[in-house]
């Protein structure tokens, strides 16, 4: 059952300070201190610009399931949609744990957290639908279709980003 609407403008609006991810040294070349780190603006730009997002969910028996979805960043919240009959939706109904990876393997953004069913108000649903329609040609979702589920909001726990390993940065949301 979808949860009540969460206000927009929170999940990605105020990131914690960036830090180095824990990496087996020196195998990946991630410095333990100093060097260039990615700015949060890189994360926001990649989440906004990515056409496809790979979503990983946890299925029965803790089996991973990966599928590409379309998504939009609206008021600093990342949303994707899928039919309630899909494997990923069934997995999320049992366990909201999810990983979202933008489509690029060169300009990487990975979000670990939860995909929470989101039931938008009429106004918020309109904003999200317009964002989808503006991003994906000939696609015009009807917000009424989300009244019974199918729209998910990402709640980040950890975000990773890099262009190459010396720039690897993570943000840990508490």
Model confidence pLDDT, tens digit, residues 76-101 = 999 999 999 999 999 999 999 999 99
The residue among 37 and 117 whose pLDDT is bigger is 117
- Comparing 23 with 113, the larger pLDDT belongs to 113
Contact 16, 170 (CB under 8 A): no
Q: Is residue 16 part of a domain?
A: no
Position 79 in a domain: yes
Residue 60's pLDDT is: 95
Instruction: Report angle CA 73, 69, 37 to the nearest 5 degrees.
Output: 55
> Comparing 165 with 37, which gets the higher pLDDT?
37
Q: What is the mean pLDDT of the chain?
A: 89
The answer to the question of residue 19 being in a domain is no
Q: How confident is the model at residue 174 (pLDDT cuts 50, 70, 90)?
A: confident
The pLDDT value recorded for residue 2 is: 43
Residue range(s) defining the domain that contains residue 47: 40-172
Q: What's the pLDDT score for residue 34?
A: 64
Residues contacting 81, CB < 8 A, separation 6+: 69, 70, 71, 132, 141, 146, 150, 151, 152
> For 43-53, what is each residue's pLDDT tens digit?
999 999 999 99
The larger pLDDT score, comparing residue 167 to residue 56, is at 56
| Percent of the chain that is helix, strand, coil (3-state, to 5) | 25, 30, 45
Tell me whether residue 149 is in a domain: yes
pLDDT at 31: 65
- Residue 166: pLDDT over 90: no
Compute how many other C-beta atoms are within 10 angstroms of the C-beta atom of residue 166. 14
The rounded distance, in Å, linking the Cα atoms of 47 and 5 is 22
In a domain, 14, yes or no: no
Considering its fold, how many domains does the chain have in total? 1
E-strand spans in the chain?
53-58, 64-69, 71-74, 77-81, 97-102, 108-117, 151-162, 169-172
Q: Is residue 24 part of a domain?
A: no
What is the CATH number for 103?
Answer: 2.30.110.10
In a domain, residue 112? The reply is yes
């Amino acid at each position: 059952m979808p949860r009540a609407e969460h206000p927009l403008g929170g999940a990605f609006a105020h990131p914690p300070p960036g830090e180095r991810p824990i990496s087996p040294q020196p195998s990946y070349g991630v410095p333990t201190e100093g060097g260039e780190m990615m700015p949060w603006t890189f994360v926001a730009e990649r989440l906004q610009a990515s056409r496809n997002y790979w979503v990983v969910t946890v299925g029965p028996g803790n089996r991973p399931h990966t599928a590409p979805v379309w998504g939009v960043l609206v008021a600093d919240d990342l949303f994707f949609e899928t039919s309630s009959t899909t494997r990923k939706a069934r997995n999320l109904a049992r366990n909201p744990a999810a990983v979202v990876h933008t489509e690029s393997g060169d300009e990487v953004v990975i979000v670990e957290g939860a995909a929470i069913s989101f039931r938008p108000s009429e106004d918020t649903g309109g904003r999200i639908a317009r964002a989808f329609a503006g991003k994906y040609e000939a696609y015009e979702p009807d917000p009424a279709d989300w009244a019974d589920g199918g729209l998910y909001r990402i709640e980040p726990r950890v975000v990773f980003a890099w262009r190459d390993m010396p720039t690897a940065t993570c943000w840990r949301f508490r």
